[in-house]
Structure 1
C-alpha cells in the first residue's frame, strides 16, 4: 500500500525543506509548492491525502486557499502558521481547516498532528455509509437508539449534551470552533452563547471522564473550540484533572524558529 501523499504549501524555503525532511523520515510521500496558486494546482491534479498550508503566502492569504479547496474537496488541511492569535485560528478553522499548528513548532508535534489526521481519514474512508454505532475507547454511541454507553453502562445525557456528543463524534480528531458548534446545535453564532456552550461541555465531560483512569475524550482549545480525541486501545492519554482545560501548545524544546 502506498504511503499517504502530503502537499506542503509554504513560501519559506527553509521551513518547506524542514517539513519535507521531517515527512521523509517517516517515508511519507510529499509534494511542495511555494505559492497558493501552485498549491491549488497540485491539490487539483494530485489529490493529496493531506495539505500542510501556510497562511502568509506571497500571492494571497491562505484562508482564501482553504475556502477554494472546500468548494470541491474535503481533503484534510492542517494550517502551519506564525499567526498565533485566536482570531486567526478561528478564521482558518471556520473556513474549513482541520487543524492549526503554530510556528515555531517541534517536528514531533507536526508528525503527531499528521498521524491524528491520517487516523481520522482512514476512519472516514472505511465507512461506506454512516455506521449506526460509533465506538471510541470505552465510549459507544448508538445513533439508531439515541443511547450512549460508557464501559457498557448507559449514560443519561440531556438532549443538548447528546447533540454535542454526536457532533464531536462525527468529527472525531477535528477542531470545531465555538461558532461552528453553536451554529450546528442551536443555529446561533452569538458570542454571548459561548458561555452556555462551555457549561454544557463541562457537564458532558464530567459524565464521559468520570472515575480514576478514565480516558480524556474531549480536548479544549482555549479561546477556539473543542475536539474529540480518537482513543486507541493502547492510548496513554488519560483524563485531565477535574476542571482542567487542555489545549495544544507548541513544544518549545527543539522547536523550529522560521
Structure 2
C-alpha cells in the first residue's frame, strides 16, 4: 500500500484530502508544516508527498528543497498562486507537479495516481535495461543511480525519467510535448515551461557549463536530445 504524506497548515484541507486518499486505498500521514514533514519522512517510507506552499515556520518552497536533499518521492505542490512564475519556482525546487487552490479533490487524486503510475512504469522499464555510459555520465537504470565525473548526481524521479528517456534514445530529438507525454504518462496540459524547468535543473546538476551543455542539447525550434 502506498503511503502518502499531506503537508498543509489548513486542517480542513488536510481532512478533505485525507478522506479522498483513504477512500482510494492509500495509507495517509499528515504534517502541519515543513518541520513536521521532515520529521515524518525520517521516520517512515513515503511514496508521494502533497505539499502546500504557504505555511508557517517553514514554507513549501524551502521544505521541497530540504526534501530533495535526501528523498526522491514525487512531490505535488499546492498553492493559491496561479502565475507561471510561481509554477516555475515550485518545479525549480524539485516538485513534480503543481495544483492551484481551490482544487477539485478528484483532480488531485488523478494527479496522485498519475505520479504513482509513472513511478511504477519507470521502475518496471528500468529493471529490463542495462547501464548507459555517455562520456563521464553513467546512468545505472536498475539502481536508479546517476554519476557524473565520478560523483553521484541527486536527481528527482522526473529528472531521472527524462534523462532515461533521452539516454536510451540517443540521437533522437524529443519535443517538449513528447517528453511530457512520455514521462508524465498523460497528454500535454501545461506550457513548455514545465519540461523546460526540469531540463534546466538537469543541466545544472550534470553540465560543467549549463549554458553550453555537453549532454542534454537543444535543437532550436524542435526539442532536446542526447547525442550518441
TM-score tier, shorter chain, comes to 0.5 to 0.7
How far 1:124 moved relative to its partner?
Answer: 2.7
Paired residues of 1:78 and 1:99 also in contact (CA < 8 A): yes
Q: 1:34 aligns with which of 32, 35, 39?
A: 32
Q: Say which SS state the counterpart of residue 77 (structure 2) adopts.
A: strand
Q: Give the equivalent residue in structure 1 for 2:75.
A: 77
Q: d(CA) in 1 for partners of 2:128 and 2:68?
A: 21
What is the aligned counterpart of 1:104 among 102, 105, 124? Answer: 102
Q: 1:166 to 1:59 in 2, by over 3 A?
A: same
- Structure number with greater CO (CA < 8 Å, separation at least 6) is 1
Structure 2 Cα separation of the partners of residues 42 and 117 of structure 1: 21
Q: Which of 6, 16, 19 lines up with 2:17 in the alignment?
A: 19
The Cα shift of 1:167 comes to 6.1
> Hey, what's the Cα distance between the residues in 1 that align with 2:196 and 2:85?
12
Q: How far did 1:183 drift?
A: 6.4
- How far off its partner does 1:108 sit? 1.4
Cα 1:173–1:71 change in 2 (3 A) is: farther
- The equivalent of 1:178 in structure 2 is 196
Q: Tell me the TM-score normalized by structure 2.
A: 0.64
Q: Secondary structure at the match of 1:68?
A: helix
Which residue of the partner structure matches residue 7 of structure 1?
A: 5
Q: 1:67 aligns with which of 62, 65, 68?
A: 65
TM superposition shift of 1:178: 2.1
Q: Deviations over 1:114-153 (max 9, x none)?
A: 1100111112333455737xxxxxxxx896674xxxxxxx
**Using a 3 Å threshold, how does the CA distance of structure 1 residues 108 and 183 change in structure 2: closer, same or farther?**
closer
Structure 2 CA distance for partners of 1:166 and 1:25, relative to 1, 3 Å: closer
Q: Is the 8 A contact 2:176 2:196 kept in 1?
A: no
Call closer, same or farther: CA 1:32–1:160 in 2, change over 3 Å: same
Match of 2:160 in 1: none
Contact 2:8 2:33 in 1 (8 A): yes
Taking structure 1 as the reference length, the TM-score comes to 0.58
Deviations 1:18-50 (A, max 9, x none): 100111211211001111100111112112100
CA distance in structure 2 between the aligned counterparts of 1:144 and 1:39, rounded to whole angstroms: 35
Local SS of the residue matching 1:74: coil
Within the candidate set 222, 225, 228, 1:200 is matched to 222
Report the alpha carbon displacement of residue 165 of structure 1 after superposing the two structures with TM. 8.5
- Equivalent residue for 1:92? 90
CA contact 1:94–1:177 (8 Å) conserved in 2: no
Q: Which runs of 5+ in 1 are unaligned?
A: 133-140, 147-158, 190-195, 205-258
